[in-house]
Structure 1
Amino acid sequence: MDMQAPQHRFVTGKLGYLAPSGHRPYQYMTPPPAGAAWHNTEYEQRACRIVNARHVAASLSLENNGFELLDRPSKVSDFNDAAQVQGVYYRELEQLALELTGGLRAQVFDHQLRQREAGRPALGFGREAASTTPAALGRVHNDYTESSGPRRARQLMPDMAQDHPFLILNFWRPVDYAALDTPLALCDPRSFPMQDWACADLIYPDRKGEIYLGRHAPGHHWYYYPAMTPREMLVFVSFDSRLDSTVRMTPHCAFDDPTAPDDAPPRRSIEARCLVVLD
Structure 2
Amino acid sequence: MVQANLRFLKRLDLYKWEKPFQLFLNLPADAEDKRQTNLTFEDLPVQIRDIRERDSPPSLDDHGFAVRTFQSSVAYEDMTRPGVVESAYSAEMETLLRIEDESITRVFFFDWRLRSTDSDANHERLNLNDVTKFIGPAIAVHVDQSPAGALHRILLQLPDDATELLQGRVRIINLWKPLLYPVEDYPLAVCDGSTIAEDDLAATDNVRQNYQGESLQVHFNEGQNWYYLSEHRPDEVLLLKMFDSSPTVRSKCCPHGAFKMPDLADTVRPRRSVEVRALVFSPY
Regarding TM over 0.5, the answer is yes
Contact 2:70–2:96 (Cα < 8 Å) also in 1: no
1:30, distance to aligned residue in structure 2 (A): 4.5
1:174, distance to aligned residue in structure 2 (A): 0.9
What are the superposed Cα offsets for residues 236-258 of structure 1, whole Å, 9 maximum, x if unpaired?
11110113321111110110011
1:277, distance to aligned residue in structure 2 (A): 0.7
Unaligned ranges ≥5, structure 1: 1-9, 121-125
Distance 1:57 1:150, change over 3 A: farther
Distance in 1 of aligned mates of 2:82 and 2:266:
32
* Structure 2 residue aligned with 1:265: 269
1:176, distance to aligned residue in structure 2 (A): 2.1
Contact 1:53–1:223 (Cα < 8 Å) also in 2: yes
1:43, distance to aligned residue in structure 2 (A): 0.4
Amino acid at match of 1:39: T
Contact 1:166–1:278 (Cα < 8 Å) also in 2: yes
* Structure 2 residue aligned with 1:90: 90
* Structure 2 residue aligned with 1:142: 143
1:155, distance to aligned residue in structure 2 (A): 2.8
* Structure 2 residue aligned with 1:220: 224
Return the match for 2:253 from 227, 249, 256.
249
- RMSD in angstroms over aligned alpha carbons? 2.1
Distance 1:205 1:155, change over 3 A: closer
1:162, distance to aligned residue in structure 2 (A): 2.5
Residue correspondence of structure 1 range 233-248 to structure 2 within 5 A: 233-248=237-252
Amino acid at match of 1:108: F
Distance in 1 of aligned mates of 2:27 and 2:186:
27
* Structure 1 residue aligned with 2:69: 71
Distance in 2 of aligned mates of 1:94 and 1:226:
25
1:259, distance to aligned residue in structure 2 (A): 4.6
* Structure 2 residue aligned with 1:5: none
Contact 1:51–1:224 (Cα < 8 Å) also in 2: yes
Which has the higher mean CA deviation after the structures are superposed, 92-101 or 205-214? 92-101
Contact 1:154–1:162 (Cα < 8 Å) also in 2: no
Contact 1:180–1:261 (Cα < 8 Å) also in 2: no
Distance 1:57 1:90, change over 3 A: farther
* Structure 1 residue aligned with 2:101: 101
1:28, distance to aligned residue in structure 2 (A): 2.3
Residue correspondence of structure 1 range 45-60 to structure 2 within 5 A: 45-56=43-54, 58-60=56-58
Distance in 1 of aligned mates of 2:233 and 2:144:
24
What are the superposed Cα offsets for residues 41-82 of structure 1, whole Å, 9 maximum, x if unpaired?
210101000001111173322222111111111111121223
Unaligned ranges ≥5, structure 2: 128-133
SS at 2:165 equivalent: coil
Contact 1:79–1:175 (Cα < 8 Å) also in 2: no
* Structure 2 residue aligned with 1:7: none
* Structure 2 residue aligned with 1:185: 189
Amino acid at match of 2:21: Y
Contact 1:150–1:241 (Cα < 8 Å) also in 2: no
Distance 1:38 1:269, change over 3 A: farther
Identity score, percent: 28
Residue 199 (1) aligns with residue 194 (2): no
Distance in 2 of aligned mates of 1:207 and 1:177:
35
* Structure 2 residue aligned with 1:28: 23
* Structure 1 residue aligned with 2:35: 37
* Structure 2 residue aligned with 1:3: none
Distance in 1 of aligned mates of 2:258 and 2:212:
24
Distance in 1 of aligned mates of 2:98 and 2:72:
17
SS at 1:59 equivalent: coil
Distance in 1 of aligned mates of 2:64 and 2:168:
20
